[in-house]
Amino acid sequence: MFWYILIALLVGVLLGRVWAMFIRPEPAGFRREGSRGSTNYILGLNYLISNQTDLAILELGKAAKLDSKTVEVFITLGNLFREKGHVERAIQIHKGVLHRSNLSNVERNQALLCLGIDFKKAGIIDRAIGIFEELIQRDPDNINGYLNLAELYEELMEWEKAYAAHEKVLQMGYTANRMALGFIQNELGLISLGEKDYPGAIKRFQKAISSDPTVYPAYINLGDAYLENGEVPLAINCWEKLVAISPLKSYLVFDRLKKAYEMVEELDRYKSLLVRLARENQKDWRVRIALAEHDRENGRAKKAYRWLLEASRVNPHSLTIHQFFWRLLLEEGLPRDKVEEYVDTTREMVFFLDPYICLKCHYKTTELLWRCPHCHAWNSFVEEKL
Ligand SMILES: [Zn+2]
């Protein structure tokens, strides 16, 4: 945000210069200073660069009093108030700018963008959407207008509209939102799946994956759609693809694959897949849990117990593993040697629910989320290493 303010300011300064030089030539000998030339303005800029927001507000406030005509000073002041959490003040200032009759197009668009961001920050979503819609109507190439709209529509889960806004941004050559496009297409696919429109859902999930191959839930859901559509081998194929491209996420499809292998009467494939994954990654504790579960179900409690011991060594903090241990020990009638071995192994361990953390904002959760509820990033959660 700081960089945004700074860039907005510099653009403002530049536009001011251009305005002064070409658009409004002054008579010879007259030098237009205004608030932009004032000491307060320069000081304010310096404070802004060194991140001293309060002092920047103070100096820019003085500059604004000296010359109430200079739009960019007011826009920046409003942005600084917003950043300090005084959103109402920011809205007041930006509205004040928009009420001026002599604004240039660029100035009006910039003030609209800032007012929209104020409303967004205040949580007044409908007003923010109204402002950004107005902005893109006035300036159809305004990438920030579309990006803000996309985020708000995502917030409201209006996926069609969010997709359209992202698509517009992509057409303008900004490709960093391909992942968002993929995830939104995945959401649209889930709607089709809910309506039992399997061919429609399949198309959408395929499109999601081709937008961005890291839209992992699309592989899971595409498999579900194939399965519902009676195409079991295609479903298996799809889930195995997820295992291949992201082995650490493969636990998300273990149950599905097991069921599907059973349906085609090839359950052996399940066990050999798990064994292979465990061999390929010594630190994958979830595959060890799956192996333990598989052995337990097939009456091999001792083997299951060995897998759990391995899993607990890889991830000593996982409460999931320890709950499984006790379930298994209870089922086996609490054999004394096994309980003692368990107590010995886990004496120093601290247990937690398996935590996930957002790489962008460090938001924590105990379930894997695809979109961060805090910073709104897609695909930003990883398992937290303790
Ligand atoms: Zn986040």
**Residue 39 pLDDT level (bands cut at 50, 70, 90):** confident
Centre of ligand 1 from the C-alpha of residue 357, in Å: 8
pLDDT per position as a tens digit, 282-317: 989 899 999 999 999 998 888 988 898 888 888 887
Centre of ligand 1 from the C-alpha of residue 91, in Å: 26
pLDDT tens string 234-264: 999 999 999 999 998 999 999 999 999 999 9
Tokens of 282: 């010594």
Within a 10 A sphere around the Cβ of 318, how many other Cβ atoms? 23
Q: pTM above the 0.85 mark?
A: no
* Four-CA torsion 102, 107, 108, 112, nearest 10 degrees: -150
Distance 358 CA to ligand 1 centre (A): 5
Neighbour-count burial of 243, counting CB atoms closer than 10 A to its CB (0-12 exposed, 13-18 middle, 19+ buried):
buried
Residue 367: per-residue pLDDT: 84
Using the mean position of ligand 1's atoms as its centre, give its distance from the Cα of residue 331 in Å: 41
Cα-to-centroid distance, 158 and ligand 1 (Å): 20
The stretch 97-114 carries a mean pLDDT of 94
- Does the pLDDT value for residue 26 go beyond 50? no
- Note the pLDDT tens digit of each residue in 46-90: 888 888 888 888 888 888 877 777 888 899 999 999 999 999 999
Q: Using the predicted structure, report yes or no on whether residue 172 has a pLDDT greater than 80.
A: yes
Q: 125: CA distance to ligand 1 center in Å? A: 20
pLDDT in tens, 211-238: 999 999 999 999 999 999 999 999 999 9
The answer to whether 262 touches 229, Cβ cutoff 8 Å, is no
Task: In whole angstroms, give the CA distance from residue 210 to residue 204.
Answer: 10
Task: Report the side by side order of strands in the sheet with 364-365.
Answer: 364-365, 356-358, 381-383
Instruction: Categorize the per-residue pLDDT at 15 as very low, low, confident or very high, splitting at 50, 70 and 90.
Output: very low
Instruction: Give dist(CA 48, CA 63) in Å, integer.
Output: 14
Distance of CA 115 from the midpoint of ligand 1 (Å): 24
User: If you measure from the C-alpha of residue 167 to the centroid of ligand 1, how many angstroms do you get, rounded to a whole number?
Assistant: 23
Q: 360-364, long-range: CB within 8 Å, 24+ apart, which pairs? A: none
Q: Each residue of 355-382: pLDDT tens digit?
A: 889 999 989 888 889 999 889 999 999 8
CA distances from 109 to 74, 132, 134, 145, 346 (A): 14, 10, 9, 9, 62
Instruction: For residue 376, report the distance from its CA to the centre of ligand 1, in Å.
Output: 6
Q: What percent of the chain clears pLDDT 90, i.e. is strictly above it?
A: 59
Task: Tell me, in angstroms, the distance from the centre of ligand 1 to residue 382's CA.
Answer: 11
CB under 8 Å to 382, separation ≥6 — which residues? 356, 357, 359
Residue 354: its pLDDT value, please? 66
Q: Assign 384 a pLDDT band (cuts: 50, 70, 90).
A: confident
**Per-residue pLDDT at 63:** 82
Between the alpha carbon of residue 126 and those of residues 208, 237, 259, the distances in Å are: 28, 43, 45
Residue 153's pLDDT band, with cuts at 50, 70 and 90, is: very high
- CA-based nearest residue to 277, from 267, 266, 287: 287
pLDDT for 176: 82
Token pair for residue 315?
């991830």
Instruction: Give dist(CA 42, CA 386) in Å, integer.
Output: 47
Q: How far apart are CA 177 and CA 163, in angstroms?
A: 10
Question: Cα(364) to centroid of ligand 1, in Å?
Answer: 8
Q: Is the pLDDT of residue 385 over 80?
A: no
CA atoms within 13 A on the CB side of 219: 24
**Ligand 1 centroid vs 130 CA: distance in angstroms?**
26
If pLDDT is split at 50, 70 and 90, which confidence band does 352 have? Answer: low
| Ligand 1 center to 308 CA (angstroms) | 32
Percent of the chain with pLDDT over 70: 88
Instruction: Give me ligand 1 centre to Cα 237, in Å.
Output: 32
CA of 384 to the centre of ligand 1 (A): 13
Q: 235 CA distance to ligand 1 centroid (A)?
A: 31
- Give the Å distance between the CA of 201 and the centre of ligand 1: 28
Q: How far is the CA of 354 from the centre of ligand 1 (A)?
A: 17
* Lowest mean pLDDT segment, chosen from 12-21, 74-83, 131-140, 154-163: 12-21
Compute the distance between CA of residue 370 and CA of residue 378 in angstroms, rounded to an integer.
6
Distance 32 CA to ligand 1 centre (A): 46
Q: What is the 3-state secondary structure (H, E, C) of the chain?
A: CHHHHHHHHHHHHHHHHHHHHHHCCCCCCCCCCCHHHCHHHHHHHHHHHCCCHHHHHHHHHHHHHHCCCCHHHHHHHHHHHHHCCCHHHHHHHHHHHHCCCCCCHHHHHHHHHHHHHHHHHHCCHHHHHHHHHHHHHHCCCCHHHHHHHHHHHHHCCCHHHHHHHHHHHHHCCCCCCHHHHHHHHHHHHHHHHHCCCHHHHHHHHHHHHHHCCCCHHHHHHHHHHHHHCCCHHHHHHHHHHHHHHCHHHHHHHHHHHHHHHHHCCCCHHHHHHHHHHHHHCCCCHHHHHHHHHHHHHCCCHHHHHHHHHHHHHHCCCEHHHHHHHHHHHHHCCCCHHHHHHHHHHHCCCCCECCCEEECCCCCEECCCCCECCCCCCECCEEECCC
